[in-house]
Amino acid sequence: IKDQAYVGGKSILNAGGSVIDYLYANKMTGNVMMIEIKAPAAPLLRDYRGNVMAPGPDLSGGVQQLLQARYSFEEEFRQLVERSGEDLDVVSPRCLLIVGTLASLRGRKARRSFELFLNNNRQVDVVTFEPTGGDKLREDLGDDAARSNARLLNDLLFGDRDYAVIGRTPAAPSA
Protein backbone atom coordinates (compact mmCIF):
# COMPACT_ATOMS: atom_id res chain seq x y z
CA ILE A 1 0.00 0.00 0.00
CA LYS A 2 2.58 2.53 1.15
CA ASP A 3 6.18 2.92 2.22
CA GLN A 4 6.82 5.17 5.23
CA ALA A 5 3.14 4.71 6.18
CA TYR A 6 1.65 6.77 9.00
CA VAL A 7 -0.29 4.41 11.26
CA GLY A 8 -1.61 6.71 13.97
CA GLY A 9 -0.70 7.99 17.40
CA LYS A 10 -0.41 11.76 16.93
CA SER A 11 -1.67 14.10 19.61
CA ILE A 12 -3.83 17.13 18.90
CA LEU A 13 -0.58 19.12 18.93
CA ASN A 14 0.55 17.09 15.86
CA ALA A 15 3.31 15.44 17.90
CA GLY A 16 4.30 11.81 18.19
CA GLY A 17 2.80 9.27 15.89
CA SER A 18 3.99 6.03 14.37
CA VAL A 19 5.53 5.58 10.93
CA ILE A 20 6.56 2.17 9.63
CA ASP A 21 8.67 1.29 6.63
CA TYR A 22 5.95 -0.60 4.73
CA LEU A 23 2.24 -1.25 5.08
CA TYR A 24 1.15 -4.21 2.99
CA ALA A 25 -2.44 -5.33 2.30
CA ASN A 26 -3.41 -8.89 1.44
CA LYS A 27 -4.97 -8.73 -2.03
CA MET A 28 -7.67 -11.25 -1.15
CA THR A 29 -8.75 -10.09 2.33
CA GLY A 30 -7.53 -6.51 2.64
CA ASN A 31 -5.94 -7.37 6.01
CA VAL A 32 -2.74 -5.44 6.64
CA MET A 33 0.81 -6.42 7.52
CA MET A 34 3.34 -3.97 8.95
CA ILE A 35 6.99 -4.27 7.93
CA GLU A 36 9.96 -2.58 9.57
CA ILE A 37 13.50 -2.96 8.17
CA LYS A 38 16.64 -2.29 10.20
CA ALA A 39 20.26 -2.50 9.07
CA PRO A 40 21.81 -5.83 8.04
CA ALA A 41 24.82 -4.94 10.22
CA ALA A 42 22.68 -4.30 13.34
CA PRO A 43 23.82 -6.50 16.24
CA LEU A 44 21.13 -9.02 17.17
CA LEU A 45 22.36 -9.43 20.76
CA ARG A 46 24.40 -7.71 23.45
CA ASP A 47 26.08 -9.07 26.56
CA TYR A 48 23.90 -9.04 29.64
CA ARG A 49 25.09 -11.36 32.41
CA GLY A 50 26.58 -14.80 32.79
CA ASN A 51 25.17 -17.13 30.21
CA VAL A 52 22.44 -14.72 29.08
CA MET A 53 22.55 -12.31 26.18
CA ALA A 54 19.89 -9.62 25.67
CA PRO A 55 18.37 -8.48 22.37
CA GLY A 56 20.35 -5.74 20.64
CA PRO A 57 18.85 -2.23 20.40
CA ASP A 58 17.54 -2.58 16.83
CA LEU A 59 16.00 -5.98 17.58
CA SER A 60 14.28 -5.01 20.83
CA GLY A 61 13.52 -1.47 19.64
CA GLY A 62 12.20 -2.71 16.29
CA VAL A 63 9.86 -5.17 18.01
CA GLN A 64 8.57 -2.44 20.33
CA GLN A 65 8.23 0.01 17.42
CA LEU A 66 6.05 -2.45 15.51
CA LEU A 67 3.95 -3.28 18.57
CA GLN A 68 3.33 0.43 19.22
CA ALA A 69 2.53 1.05 15.54
CA ARG A 70 0.11 -1.88 15.52
CA TYR A 71 -1.59 -0.63 18.69
CA SER A 72 -1.96 2.89 17.26
CA PHE A 73 -3.22 1.58 13.93
CA GLU A 74 -5.82 -0.65 15.59
CA GLU A 75 -6.97 2.26 17.77
CA GLU A 76 -7.28 4.73 14.89
CA PHE A 77 -8.02 2.33 12.05
CA ARG A 78 -11.49 3.54 11.09
CA GLN A 79 -10.49 7.21 10.74
CA LEU A 80 -7.21 6.46 8.93
CA VAL A 81 -8.79 4.09 6.41
CA GLU A 82 -11.83 6.30 5.83
CA ARG A 83 -9.52 9.20 4.93
CA SER A 84 -7.32 7.01 2.69
CA GLY A 85 -10.07 5.52 0.55
CA GLU A 86 -8.32 2.10 0.73
CA ASP A 87 -10.35 -1.09 1.18
CA LEU A 88 -8.47 -2.42 4.20
CA ASP A 89 -9.18 -4.48 7.26
CA VAL A 90 -7.38 -4.90 10.56
CA VAL A 91 -7.74 -8.42 11.90
CA SER A 92 -4.83 -9.06 14.25
CA PRO A 93 -2.37 -7.56 11.75
CA ARG A 94 0.93 -9.32 11.17
CA CYS A 95 4.15 -7.52 12.03
CA LEU A 96 7.48 -8.34 10.42
CA LEU A 97 10.91 -7.08 11.46
CA ILE A 98 13.95 -7.61 9.23
CA VAL A 99 17.21 -7.07 11.10
CA GLY A 100 20.83 -8.26 11.39
CA THR A 101 22.32 -11.57 10.29
CA LEU A 102 22.59 -14.97 11.92
CA ALA A 103 26.33 -14.90 11.17
CA SER A 104 26.65 -12.33 13.96
CA LEU A 105 25.60 -14.97 16.51
CA ARG A 106 28.91 -16.30 17.79
CA GLY A 107 28.72 -19.44 19.90
CA ARG A 108 26.12 -21.54 21.62
CA LYS A 109 25.17 -18.89 24.21
CA ALA A 110 24.33 -16.38 21.48
CA ARG A 111 22.34 -18.87 19.40
CA ARG A 112 20.41 -20.05 22.46
CA SER A 113 19.63 -16.51 23.63
CA PHE A 114 18.43 -15.52 20.16
CA GLU A 115 16.22 -18.60 19.83
CA LEU A 116 14.74 -18.01 23.29
CA PHE A 117 13.87 -14.45 22.29
CA LEU A 118 12.40 -15.48 18.92
CA ASN A 119 10.42 -18.44 20.20
CA ASN A 120 8.85 -16.44 23.03
CA ASN A 121 8.05 -13.39 20.94
CA ARG A 122 4.57 -14.15 19.63
CA GLN A 123 3.55 -10.79 18.18
CA VAL A 124 6.34 -9.90 15.74
CA ASP A 125 7.94 -12.20 13.17
CA VAL A 126 11.69 -11.61 12.92
CA VAL A 127 13.63 -12.41 9.73
CA THR A 128 17.35 -11.80 9.29
CA PHE A 129 19.30 -10.76 6.22
CA GLU A 130 21.10 -13.93 5.17
CA PRO A 131 23.37 -14.66 2.23
CA THR A 132 21.70 -17.15 -0.06
CA GLY A 133 24.11 -17.13 -2.94
CA GLY A 134 21.61 -14.81 -4.61
CA ASP A 135 19.90 -11.58 -3.77
CA LYS A 136 17.02 -12.65 -1.54
CA LEU A 137 16.18 -13.34 2.09
CA ARG A 138 16.44 -16.96 3.13
CA GLU A 139 13.03 -18.56 2.84
CA ASP A 140 13.86 -21.72 4.79
CA LEU A 141 14.13 -20.23 8.30
CA GLY A 142 11.46 -19.88 10.98
CA ASP A 143 7.89 -21.09 11.04
CA ASP A 144 5.43 -21.13 8.12
CA ALA A 145 4.45 -17.50 8.72
CA ALA A 146 8.08 -16.30 8.75
CA ARG A 147 8.87 -18.25 5.58
CA SER A 148 5.78 -16.83 3.90
CA ASN A 149 6.79 -13.30 4.91
CA ALA A 150 10.31 -13.83 3.52
CA ARG A 151 8.81 -15.00 0.21
CA LEU A 152 6.53 -11.95 0.18
CA LEU A 153 9.43 -9.59 0.76
CA ASN A 154 11.57 -11.33 -1.83
CA ASP A 155 8.76 -10.82 -4.32
CA LEU A 156 7.98 -7.21 -3.37
CA LEU A 157 11.00 -5.40 -2.10
CA PHE A 158 14.50 -6.62 -2.70
CA GLY A 159 16.70 -5.95 -5.63
CA ASP A 160 19.89 -5.94 -3.55
CA ARG A 161 19.39 -8.03 -0.40
CA ASP A 162 22.12 -6.28 1.56
CA TYR A 163 20.92 -2.76 0.85
CA ALA A 164 17.15 -2.64 0.70
CA VAL A 165 16.37 1.03 0.12
CA ILE A 166 13.17 2.11 1.79
CA GLY A 167 10.76 3.77 -0.60
CA ARG A 168 12.36 2.50 -3.81
CA THR A 169 11.18 -0.12 -6.20
CA PRO A 170 13.88 -2.73 -6.86
CA ALA A 171 15.54 -2.45 -10.24
CA ALA A 172 14.63 -5.07 -12.79
CA PRO A 173 17.24 -7.84 -13.03
CA SER A 174 19.77 -7.12 -15.75
CA ALA A 175 19.87 -9.49 -18.67
Q: How far apart are CA 131 and CA 136, in angstroms?
A: 8
pLDDT at residue 133 above 70? Answer: no
Average of per-residue pLDDT across 3-8: 56
Report the C-alpha gap between 90 and 26 in whole angstroms: 11
Closest CA to 7 of 90, 125, 127, 87: 90
What pLDDT digit, counting tens, does each position of 114-125 carry? 999 999 988 999
Q: Residue range 76-87: average pLDDT? A: 68
Residue scoring higher pLDDT (77 or 112): 112
User: In terms of pTM, does the model score above 0.85?
Assistant: no
Sequence-ordered alpha helix ranges (H) in 85-166: 108-119, 144-156
Distance CA 12, CA 5 (A): 19
The lowest-confidence range among 1-5, 37-41, 66-70, 152-156 is 1-5
